[in-house]
């Protein structure tokens, strides 16, 4: 870029590092978010040490993200969605942030970025604690974060803390991480997001089973005290008791043929969504069509059983990743989503992070059963940022054979290799 040609290598490095730190710490500020994404792309363009697009496209996860986004653009050809509206499907394109972010990471920048992510997370966590304890409110209005997003954020933190507790050799550090995870889980029990809480609990169970690899009898010995603690959390949480009572009331309303409730609305969405996929199973209804299809179909579907639901709540998505993408792109979209999850898991596996991959994909899949998780604000971006940091850490860690495109990297690259120009570099 002409205006930056006069910068020295050191100044350019400091500029790129500042952009990475600002992006990692500023994920939660919705006002700055789009501006930070633009800065991240510009930093990739000016950085002589970053991986090139050709090198990045060799990464399985990058390929999967591009395939999903390309199919969404292709789906516009047979879509009948109006040009005006919220167009929530465009949030899938935020997954592309993974490409420049990982391309810019290297050994010198990694500690700064990791520190910025932790600092940003702690800031949001403390703000959420203040909202809960002092303001008696869920979510974080100042960050434009609903109770659902905050619950998902707590779940991610709890899973990450448990993961490091499993790997840590120091008893004291492991104890501190376990206490931290329990604290985050306790706070999550006081949020109204049932789906994300269940996804967190199921992911923790999967993590322990995969990590410990013990018999069912020994697992039961560990599971009993944990289950008792979870029951204590649930008993002391008025939110859980309220949501449990609400679930019972919702089921009674459903039996009476009324679906204008939280559970009833989801059942109606999934019912109509599966019907829409069955009508056009190969290509789907077209990109951006799910909400319009629902509003248009419920008038006649099943003798108008759900016809009052658009008035109950404005339709925006189908509260399920699989139904949402299947409605838009049919089998093509479902295949693209499977490819994305497979590539995500493969990225962890090829860098020796099998347990981390199991935890990440489990949380994404389980969260996507009750929410359209991949377009759920900034939480999927946080998971991709964590993925990029983990991948970069494995590459620069001594005696680690991180793999990119099938070629092993040297664990301690020489200064000459680190300062190679874009055209000579080896996500």
pLDDT digits (tens, 9 = 90+) for 353-406: 999 999 999 999 999 998 899 988 789 999 999 999 999 999 887 644 333 333
* pLDDT tier, 220 (very low <50, low <70, confident <90, very high otherwise): low
Provide the H-helix boundaries in 47-193.
53-56, 60-74, 98-104, 110-133, 147-167, 171-188
Q: Among residues 388, 390, 393, 395, which one has the least CA distance to residue 412?
A: 395
Residue pointed to by tokens 């000459």: 416
Helices vs. strands in the chain: H and E counts, helices first: 18, 2
At 74 the three-state DSSP class reads: helix
Considering only residues 235 and 4, tell me which one the structure prediction assigns the higher pLDDT: 235
Mean pLDDT, the chain, as a whole number?
Answer: 83
Tell me the Cα Rg of the chain: 23
Residue 413: per-residue pLDDT:
39
Question: What would you measure as the largest C-alpha separation in the chain, in angstroms?
Answer: 73
**pTM (two decimals):** 0.86
Q: Strand, coil or helix: what is 302? A: helix
Contact between 272 and 301 (Cβ < 8 Å): yes
Each residue's pLDDT tens digit, 39-89: 999 999 888 888 889 999 999 999 999 999 999 999 999 988 777 666 788
**pLDDT > 70: percent of the chain:** 87
Identify the pLDDT of residue 225: 74
d(CA 80, CA 280): 14
pLDDT in tens, 287-317: 988 888 888 888 888 888 888 888 888 888 8
DSSP structural state of residue 140: B
Q: What is the CB-side half-sphere exposure of residue 139 using CA atoms within 13 A?
A: 11
Q: How far is CA 262 from CA 139, 313, 324, in A?
A: 18, 10, 18
- pLDDT band for position 349 (50/70/90)? very high
């Amino acid at each position: 870029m002409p205006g930056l040609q006069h910068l020295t290598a050191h100044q350019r490095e400091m500029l790129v590092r500042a952009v990475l730190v600002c992006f990692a710490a500023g994920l939660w500020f919705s006002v700055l978010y789009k501006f930070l994404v633009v800065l991240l792309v510009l930093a990739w363009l000016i950085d002589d040490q970053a991986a090139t697009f050709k090198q990045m496209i060799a990464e399985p996860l990058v390929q999967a993200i591009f395939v999903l986004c390309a199919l969404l653009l292709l789906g516009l050809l047979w879509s009948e969605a109006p040009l005006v509206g919220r167009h929530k499907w465009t949030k899938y394109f935020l997954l592309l942030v993974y490409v420049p972010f990982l391309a810019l990471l290297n050994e010198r920048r990694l500690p700064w970025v990791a520190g910025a992510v932790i600092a940003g997370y702690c800031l949001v966590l403390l703000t959420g604690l203040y909202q809960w304890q002092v303001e008696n409110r869920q979510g974080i209005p100042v960050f434009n974060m609903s109770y659902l997003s905050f619950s998902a954020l707590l779940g991610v933190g709890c899973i990450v803390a448990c993961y490091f507790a499993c790997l840590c050799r120091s008893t004291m550090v492991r104890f501190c991480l376990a206490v931290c995870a329990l604290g985050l889980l306790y706070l999550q029990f006081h949020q109204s997001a049932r789906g994300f809480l269940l996804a967190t609990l199921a992911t923790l169970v999967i993590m322990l089973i995969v990590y410990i690899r013990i018999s069912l009898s020994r697992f039961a010995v560990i599971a009993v005290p944990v289950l008792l603690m979870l029951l204590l959390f649930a008993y002391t949480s008025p939110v859980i008791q309220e949501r449990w009572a609400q679930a019972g009331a919702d089921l009674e309303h459903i039996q009476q043929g009324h679906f204008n409730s939280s559970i009833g609305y989801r059942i109606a969405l999934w019912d109509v969504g599966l019907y829409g996929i069955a009508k056009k199973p190969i290509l789907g209804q077209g990109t951006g069509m799910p909400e319009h299809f629902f509003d248009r179909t419920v008038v006649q579907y099943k003798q108008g059983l759900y016809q009052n639901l658009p008035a109950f709540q404005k339709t925006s998505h189908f509260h399920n990743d699989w139904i949402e993408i299947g409605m838009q792109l049919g089998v093509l979209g479902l295949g693209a989503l499977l490819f994305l999850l497979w590539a995500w898991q493969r990225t962890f596996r090829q860098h020796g992070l099998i347990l981390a991959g199991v935890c990440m994909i489990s949380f994404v899949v389980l969260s996507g059963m009750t929410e359209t998780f991949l377009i759920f604000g900034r939480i999927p971006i946080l998971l991709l940022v964590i993925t990029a940091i983990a991948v970069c850490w494995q590459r620069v860690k001594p005696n680690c054979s991180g793999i990119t495109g099938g070629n092993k990297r040297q664990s301690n690259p020489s200064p000459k290799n680190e300062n190679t120009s874009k055209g000579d570099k080896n996500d």
